[in-house]
């Protein structure tokens, strides 16, 4: 039974570019949440997708957008990359469109902006 | 001020010691999560609780809703327990949406 998988594991981009990160949820889960974790900090909630819609959103600008597909997998897109977007991006899956369920995390994508 | 505060920030212990990590929060919550993050980034959910106490192996999590405080205890600590332990809370905003807020984490090092 596969857990949460994220791709790619590492990525290097330059300022102004666009990036797409991908996440496949744990089998049986229908909800995907995305988090940004800067070095030495706790994760910060970006948004949550359930039933192919963005259901909750944290304090992130519109440059951060996402999508959920019918198979529950999800993408995180970031446009016009800034140096400050360098971070570990974590995806977590759960069931039922609520945060009051245990979150199962992937290993993350480490994004570096040059 | 962050809605979730953890203490201590860093903790060094000798193998076998009893460990306590504390988490205080400032909002009325619907759930509290304890997470473990190893070097390299992967996060594992240890507990989710909204009242009382939960135990799994050598790990115990307690929560006091009235005092807005939770503790994570590790009994008979082992070097493999070395990790960052993160507390996170779920609450409902005035607008009716759910919000999940994380503490900055406690870095635990257990020496043999």
Residue A77 · residue A109 · CB < 8 Å: no
- The whole-angstrom distance between A64's CA and the closest CA on chain B is 17
The stretch A88-104 carries a mean pLDDT of 91
pLDDT at residue B100 in the model = 87
Contact B88 A100 (CB under 8 A): no
Contact A56 B97 (CB under 8 A): yes
Chain B hits for A104, Cβ within 8 Å: 45
Residue A4's Cα: distance from chain center in Å?
11
**Res. A1 pLDDT band, cuts 50 70 90:** low
**Count of CB atoms within 10 A of residue A2's CB?**
8
Contact A100 B97 (CB under 8 A): no
Measure CB to CB from residue B33 to each of A48, A103, A107 and give the nearest one: A103
Backbone angles phi, psi at B81, to 5 degrees: -80, -10
Name the stretches of chain B with pLDDT < 70.
1
Q: What is the pLDDT of residues A28-67, one digit of tens each?
A: 999 999 999 998 889 999 999 999 999 989 999 999 999 9
Spatial neighbors of A33 by CB under 8 A, at least 6 apart, are A45, A46, A47, A48, A49, A56, A91, A92, A93, A94, A99, A103, B100
Best residue of B4, B41, B90 to probe chain A, by most A CBs closer than 10 Å? B41
Helix (H), strand (E) at residue B63: strand B59-64
Contact A107 B99 (CB under 8 A): no
- Give the number of A-B residue pairs with CB atoms closer than 8 Å: 66
Pair of tokens at residue A60? 């992130």
- The whole-angstrom distance between B73's CA and the closest CA on chain A is 19
Contact A98 B98 (CB under 8 A): yes
The stretch A98-102 carries a mean pLDDT of 84
Return the higher-pLDDT residue of A78 and B97. A78
Peptide bond before residue B65 is cis, with ω within 30 degrees of 0: no
pLDDT at residue A85 in the model = 97
Contact B88 A104 (CB under 8 A): no
pLDDT at residue B59 in the model = 97
Pair of tokens at residue A71? 């198979």
3-state helix, strand, coil in chain B (%, to 5): 5, 60, 35
pLDDT at residue B95 in the model = 80
């Amino acid at each position: 039974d596969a857990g949460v998988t994220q791709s790619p594991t590492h990525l290097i981009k330059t300022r102004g570019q666009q990036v797409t990160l991908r996440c496949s949820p744990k089998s049986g889960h229908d909800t995907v949440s995305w988090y940004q974790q800067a070095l030495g900090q706790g994760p910060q909630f970006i948004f949550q997708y359930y039933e192919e819609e963005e259901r909750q959103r944290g304090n992130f600008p519109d440059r951060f957008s996402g999508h959920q597909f019918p198979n529950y997998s999800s993408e995180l897109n970031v446009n016009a990359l800034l140096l400050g977007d360098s971070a570990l991006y974590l995806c977590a899956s759960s069931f039922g469109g609520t945060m009051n369920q245990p979150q199962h995390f992937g290993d993350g994508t480490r994004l570096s902006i040059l | 001020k962050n809605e979730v505060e953890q203490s201590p920030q860093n903790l060094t212990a000798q193998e076998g010691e009893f460990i306590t990590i504390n988490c205080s929060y400032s909002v009325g919550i619907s759930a509290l999560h304890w997470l473990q993050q190893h070097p390299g980034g992967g996060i594992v959910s240890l507990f989710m609780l909204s009242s009382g106490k939960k135990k799994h192996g050598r790990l115990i999590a307690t929560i006091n809703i009235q005092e807005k405080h939770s503790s994570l205890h590790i009994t008979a600590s082992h070097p493999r327990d070395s990790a960052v332990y993160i507390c996170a809370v779920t609450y409902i905003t005035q607008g009716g949406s759910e919000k999940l807020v994380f503490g900055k984490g406690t870095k635990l090092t257990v020496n043999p």
